[in-house]
Each structure stands twice: as structure tokens, then as C-alpha cells.
Amino acid sequence: MTSLAIHVENLVKRFGPIAAVDGVSFQVEQGETVALLGANGAGKTTTISMLLGLLLPSSGSIEILGSDMTRRPSQVLRRINFSSPYVDLPRRLTVQQNLVFFARLYGVTDVRARLAELARDLELEGLWRKRTGQLSAGQKTRVSLAKAMVNRPQVLLLDEPTASLDPDTADWLRGYLESYQAETGAAILLASHNMAEVERLARRVLMLRLGRVVDEGTPSHLLQRYGRASLEEVFLEIARQGARPGEGTAA
């Protein structure tokens, strides 16, 4: 039996009277990519923030690699990582300085060798001595991914990993993630508005609306269930109308 990398049960996060996340439950197996889809305000970022330990849940449980993230996050933090274009790295540090800092923070043993590998794999050599605040949006996205990969994470949380990248670079980056997962068996939780990206990378999709999982399944099963030609059409139907065929069922 495949062991679980992420196990979330009845997760709730309230901000005053508002439930940003309202009873979310899901699992991600080792070697699996699961996508979180939903309109802005659906609860994706709040869910990821709780998985990272940045927010405490109002109730519910989170286990990552067998550790309770609400009670013993230190046991697992060096084995996970995340990337988001909406979280800036220190802008006055160079790319190299940023990656050295995070490599040491995550306890990487051979920092020089690991950074040389990332610079080669993610084509960062020309950016090495540039301050992060001087980079273009696409360059920042690549550096953010390098930060996320620096400790060879077993669980990788990705929020719009190819934002601001041109189509060719984005396609190459998806191939890089696929190769990394095949090599390491890492689990990936992906939040993205790029439906082609989701269809390529994700084995399963969780559809969020107003803080709840309103449907889930493989991309192909969701297309069949809703009778749509594309995952984008499924997304729009759920986001605009809140349609919930099969709510609470697993495909």
C-alpha cells in the first residue's frame, strides 16, 4: 500500500465570522500530484498556509509525512518546501545569497554542490549575482522554484509555479517537475489557474468553492461528469454557479 504524504481531515480556518476553509479533507500519496482548483477566495492559499504551519487551523488535523503539523511541525519542516510568485525573497540580496541562506536554513549538507546543480538545471547562472529585486517576474518565478527545490523536498507545495513564464520555459519547467517527481517519489500539491498545466501534471483534482471541496476526481473523470470539453469549462461552471454533481464522492 502506498503511504500517505499529506493527510488533511475536516480542516477549518475562520477569520472572525468568515470560514475561509470550511471542513476540507483530502489525501496526497507519495509520488502523486494533486491540484487545488478554485476561484480567488476559494481557500487555496489559506489551505497551503496551514499545511506550511504559517496559519493555525481553527479545527481539524494535518499530517505531513506522518507528523502532526499543528503540534510537531519541526519534525517535518526540513523535508517539505514551497514556491509562490506572491511571496518575495529578500529583494536586496543576490540570487546566490538568497539560495545560500535557504540552503543553510533547510540543513543542506553540501551547499555549494547543490546550488551549482540548481543553477545548471534551472538556468540561473546569468542571474547569480543580480539582486532579487532587480529580476523580472519570470526570473523571480524560476528563483522561487530553485528555493523550493534546494532541500530536495519530499513534499512540494506549489502556488502558480509557472506564473509569468513564457510558454516554452513553462513547458520545460513542468518537465523538470515531472522528472524530479519520478526520480524522488515526491508528493506535489499544486494550486494553479493554468488548466493545461493541471491536466498535464495532476493525477487528481480537488475543486474548491467558498472554502469547501465541492467535487474531486481525475481530470478525465471531471470532464465526463460535467459533460465539458475542457477542464477550464468545468472550473468556470463550478466557480460561477457552484454546481456540485458528485459532491463528497471520490473518483
* Each residue's pLDDT tens digit, 62-99: 999 999 988 877 779 899 999 988 888 999 999 999 99
Amino acid identity for residue 183 in this structure? E
Q: The whole model's pTM is what? A: 0.90
Domain annotation for the chain: domains and CATH numbers: 4-90+154-241 (3.40.50.300)
Block residue for cell numbers 538545471 = 121
Q: 247: which 3 cell numbers?
A: 459532491
Summarised one tens digit per residue, pLDDT across range 161-204 is 888 888 998 999 999 999 999 999 999 999 988 898 999 999 99
